Structure 1
Amino acid sequence: MSSLLAFERDRFLAETWQKRPLLMRGAWRDWSNPLEPDELAGLACEPEIESRLVRQPAPGQWELEHGPLAPDRFTQLGDCPWTLLVQAVDHHVPEVAALIEPFRFIPDWRIDDVMVSYATDGGGVGPHYDQYDVFLVQGLGRRRWRVGRRCDDSARLLPHNDLRLLTDFEPVDEWVLDPGDILYVPPGFAHDGLAVGDYCMTYSIGFRAPSRGDMVSAYVDHVLETLDDDDRYTDPDLVAGAHPGEISAEAIARLHEMVIGALSDRDSFATWFGAYVTEPRDERLDWAPESKVGAADLIAGAAGPIRFERNPASRFSFIRHGDDAVTLFVDGRTYRCYGPAAAVASQICRSRLALEPNQMSDPDVSDLIVDLVNRGCLAPVVTD
């Protein structure tokens, strides 16, 4: 895979990130398209992979079809423009997953997936806006992108059951992207991409942005599971009030503290959030071994470093506590790690893992690695 050219990350974050769109011409050195159109079509036929097909049978008309698609579906599409979109292709194609690496100056917990689209001449999904950041990497062919102003919930949408398309789209900028070009679009900015010619492939590296409503709802549900039903309102210092119908300021203060106090523990929230944000998007990419393994199985025959690779569908993050302690989160599960295990946990979250056999002799390290392998989050790299 080719590499991204020199990229001023600090300047990008200060001047561009979530502020304005940015076109990066020829951003990749010696660009090579990592996936063939036929391979993408094959993925869209798999039942465990999320895919969509958008057709435009007539100008201003849009039809959406959800996968999995029948293999012969692509021979029945006719001459109208169409677009195939396949989610989380990075979970299945290592060469596509490699596209994420240059963008990991943005925290991993914010990274969602790489969606890949293929479009025939004039194909697109219509003018719309997203609630997340996206880097649009042109992989094959050419695509004309038009970008408008920032939108919000007041933006008028076309009547459509499945697609959120803008009624009034006024482009401000317009570019035609060639292979290796990148267009960054912040959340909320209207944009519309149309294939210029056939064989147009675009790689959309998308980032998650949890909504306040989703987080509040999920965290409250979590807190509710921890509460004791006997923990009830009390007022042992009650005094007679001036009016029997009044809810006193003292009662409101006590009730408010009961509710807010249950939600205000920052450490508890941090632990919950780490598990929440690493919940796997799709558990169908299962790397768990048929029979559970132990440390001895992983060390057996090792003459050098024992190497492990991460399941591309797994999510890894950690929170640091001082110099030698972290809480590791993997696919919604929490691991408290100290000393050598904390260093290994940090390494797992950065890249491929290589451990010397003597490192596996540490019981905390051994227990962590064995559990992650048996859960299918890590897998030992088999070498000839």
Structure 2
Amino acid sequence: MDIEHPLPLLGGLTPSQFMRRHWQKKPLLVRQAVPLFAPPVLRAELVALAAQEGVESRLVQRAKGAWKLRHGPFGRRSLPSLQQPEWTLLVQGVDLHNAQVHDLLQQFRFVPDARLDDVMISYASDNGGVGPHFDSYDVFLLQAHGRRRWRIGRQKDLSLQDGVPLKVLARFEPEEEFVLEPGDMLYLPPRYAHDGVAEGGDCMTYSIGFRAPSRAELAHEIMARFAEEAADEGATPLYADPRQPAAESPAAIPAGLHDFARAALERALAQPHAMDRALGEYLTEPKASVWFEPGDAGVMLEGVRLDRRSRMMYDAKHVFINGESYLAGGRDATLMRRLANERQLTARDLARASDDALELLSDWCDQGWAHSWSQ
């Protein structure tokens, strides 16, 4: 991606300008960010997705001032009628199920893949919404169909309403108001309060969301992978204390056990690139609902294209794909990085690949992580 090229998606800003001026700093409203936008997923398809077991979906309703929340899957008859006001159907991860929505998500790769999450689609009847709230992550709100009125504000009081199944702000104080038409888009940084309400019904909004792992989440995931690697080593030393004297204070933890635990952690951290490897595997781990269809074994590779559900990244020493890590160097590392960045390789690219790289790519195709294709 040319990060110095102005994009209609960003209102004529270059990706560099957007990241410098707006990312995690201030909102941006873009009229006709996607001119003549034709939604790739219509209402009937969204409802069909919400009926599937492996798709995360929610139904938010408001009746007589009270909020209600239900989780899917939803049978078609379990949804309210289109004429009933104040309800919203939210379907997560639609980019995993629709190639055109996946392609839309790729337009936002001026943000690192490690931060890019998914596309959620919301469908709302007249006056439908999820209440004034804030997100802990950045979000682009692209209007796909109908109209939605957004009120936004830098909210200092983040207290929530009690007894509500949603995180609805108790005292929302909007500062600006916009009505978005199809093709319009609003960017909001984290913790920027917003309230979107459908006007006239038949309203569809695409939310492009981003990952923002907490320090605790990263620590948990990395340490869990350290523990798995230690278990894979086979027999590891057990704590032993042949010189332990008789305990006058039996509840006190022995100093030797403290030292043993500290040494175990230091050993895990001392492994070459252990932390880098654990982080890359975590960031590319597919979501629990993701599954791959095995490809045909032994297919001749003319070109390779990543499956839209595959997550592939790299660092200075490794390439990572779907929770797996591989050491890579030289020409093969350059090739794999190109695959991660461009999500495809041509026959000309493959002509320069080593036998080991071709074997690995063929294995990924067998697993359904990638697919052979002809130009």
| Normalised TM-score (structure 2) | 0.84
Q: Are 2:222 and 1:219 equivalent residues in the alignment? A: yes
1:15 corresponds in structure 2 to 21
Q: Are 2:167 and 1:167 equivalent residues in the alignment? A: no
1:56 corresponds in structure 2 to 62
Alignment of 1:120-131 (within 5 A): 120-131=125-136
Q: 1:195 to 1:371 in 2, by over 3 A?
A: same
Q: Deviations for 1:311-370, whole angstroms, at most 9, x for unmatched residues? A: 22221111124xxxxx11111011222333212211221222223496287311212111
Residue range with higher mean Cα deviation, 340-349 or 171-180: 340-349
Query: Retained in 1: the 8 A contact 2:239–2:260?
Result: no
Q: Which runs of 4+ in 1 moved over 4 A?
A: 75-78, 226-229, 231-234, 250-257, 262-266
Q: Deviations for 1:218-260, whole angstroms, at most 9, x for unmatched residues? A: 22222234457537699x9xxxxxxx9xx9xx99996896376
Q: Deviations for 1:28-61, whole angstroms, at most 9, x for unmatched residues? A: 23433222222211211222211111111222x1
In structure 1, C-alpha distance between the alignment counterparts of 2:144 and 2:340, rounded to whole Å:
28
Alignment of 1:42-81 (within 5 A): 42-59=48-65, 61-74=66-79, 76=81, 79-81=84-86
Q: Are 2:368 and 1:379 equivalent residues in the alignment? A: no
Alignment of 1:1-384 (within 5 A): 4=9, 6-59=12-65, 61-74=66-79, 76=81, 79-150=84-155, 155-160=159-164, 162-227=165-230, 230=237, 258=263, 261-262=266-267, 264-265=269-270, 267-289=273-295, 293-294=297-298, 297-299=299-301, 306-321=302-317, 327-351=318-342, 352-356=344-348, 359=351, 362-381=354-373
Residue range with higher mean Cα deviation, 108-117 or 4-13: 4-13
Q: Deviations for 1:98-138, whole angstroms, at most 9, x for unmatched residues? A: 21122101111111100001111100011111111111111
| Normalised TM-score (structure 1) | 0.82
Residue range with higher mean Cα deviation, 223-232 or 37-46: 223-232
1:303 corresponds in structure 2 to none
In structure 1, C-alpha distance between the alignment counterparts of 2:374 and 2:289, rounded to whole Å:
23
Query: Retained in 2: the 8 A contact 1:127–1:165?
Result: yes
Q: 1:361 to 1:263 in 2, by over 3 A?
A: closer
Deviation at 1:280, TM superposition (A): 0.2
Instruction: Specify the SS of the correspondent of 2:173.
Output: coil
Letter in 2 for 1:370: S
Instruction: Specify the SS of the correspondent of 1:103.
Output: coil
Letter in 1 for 2:30: M
Q: Deviations for 1:278-298, whole angstroms, at most 9, x for unmatched residues? A: 110145442212x5x13xx32
In structure 2, C-alpha distance between the alignment counterparts of 1:99 and 1:358, rounded to whole Å:
27
Q: 1:145 to 1:357 in 2, by over 3 A?
A: closer
Letter in 2 for 1:65: R
**Number of residue pairs the alignment of both structures matches:** 357
Instruction: Specify the SS of the correspondent of 1:230.
Output: coil
Letter in 2 for 1:40: L
Q: 1:86 to 1:9 in 2, by over 3 A?
A: same
1:240 corresponds in structure 2 to none
Q: 1:168 to 1:333 in 2, by over 3 A?
A: same
Q: CA RMSD in A?
A: 3.2
Letter in 1 for 2:124: A
Aligned-residue identity in percent: 36
Letter in 2 for 1:158: D
Q: 1:74 to 1:226 in 2, by over 3 A?
A: closer
Query: Retained in 2: the 8 A contact 1:287–1:378?
Result: no
Residue range with higher mean Cα deviation, 198-207 or 213-222: 213-222
Q: Deviations for 1:61-98, whole angstroms, at most 9, x for unmatched residues? A: 11112111112234557623111111111111111112
Deviation at 1:371, TM superposition (A): 1.6
In structure 2, C-alpha distance between the alignment counterparts of 1:8 and 1:373, rounded to whole Å:
35
Letter in 2 for 1:298: M
In structure 2, C-alpha distance between the alignment counterparts of 1:284 and 1:179, rounded to whole Å:
30
Q: 1:79 to 1:166 in 2, by over 3 A?
A: same
In structure 1, C-alpha distance between the alignment counterparts of 2:121 and 2:293, rounded to whole Å:
23
Instruction: Specify the SS of the correspondent of 1:31.
Output: coil
